[in-house]
Amino acid sequence: MPTQVKALAMDSATAPFRRIEITRRDPLPDEVVIDIKFAGICHSDIHTARGEWGDVIYPLVPGHEIAGVVTAVGPEVVKFKVGDHAGIGCFVDACGECAHCRIGEENACLERTIWTYNDIGADGVPTAGGYSQQIVARADYVLRIPDSLPLDKAAPLLCAGVTPWSPLVRYNAGSGTRLAVVGLGGLGHMAVQLGKALGCEVTVLSRSLRKREQGLKLGADHYYATADPATFEDLEASFDLMLCTVSADLDVDALVSLLDLGGVLVFLGLPPDEQSFHIEPLCLGHKVITGSDIGGIPGTQAVLDFCAEKGIAAQIELIGADEVTEAYNKVVAGDVEFRYVIDVATI
Ligand code: NAP
Ligand code: ZN
Query: Residue 254: is it exposed, middle or buried by C-beta count within 10 angstroms (0-12/13-18/19+)?
Result: middle
Helix, strand, coil distribution of the chain in percent, nearest 5: 30, 30, 45
- Single-letter residue type at 281: P
What is the tens place of the pLDDT at every residue in 97-152?
Answer: 999 999 999 999 999 999 999 999 999 999 999 999 999 999 999 999 999 999 99
Q: Is 271 left (phi over 0), alpha (psi -120 to 50) or beta?
A: beta
Where do the H-state alpha helices sit in the chain? 43-49, 99-102, 151-154, 162-170, 186-197, 212-218, 229-234, 252-256, 280-284, 297-310, 324-332
Inter-residue contact 85 to 148 (CB < 8 Å): no
Q: How much distance in Å is there from the Cα of 235 to the middle of ligand 2? A: 30
pLDDT tier at 248 (50, 70, 90 boundaries)? very high
**Closest approach atom of ligand 1 to CA 295:** 40
* Ligand 1 neighbourhood includes 204 CB (under 6 angstroms): no
Residue 142 CA to residue 304 CA, distance in Å, equals 12
Average pLDDT value for residue range 320-337: 97
Q: What is the pTM of this model?
A: 0.98
Assign 287 to helix, strand or coil.
coil
| pLDDT beyond 90 at 1 | no
For the chain, give the mean pLDDT: 97
Strand partners, 96: none
Going by CATH, does the domain composed of 3-159+295-346 fall within 3.90.180.10? Answer: yes
pLDDT tier at 292 (50, 70, 90 boundaries)? very high
What is the tens place of the pLDDT at every residue in 139-184?
Answer: 999 999 999 999 999 999 999 999 999 999 999 999 999 999 999 9
User: What is the domain partition of the chain in residue ranges?
Assistant: 3-159+295-346, 162-291
* Ligand 1 neighbourhood includes 120 CB (under 6 angstroms): no
Going by CATH, does the domain composed of 162-291 fall within 3.40.50.720? Answer: yes
Nearest CA to ligand 1 atom 7: 246
What is the tens place of the pLDDT at every residue in 183-218?
Answer: 999 999 999 999 999 999 999 999 999 999 999 999
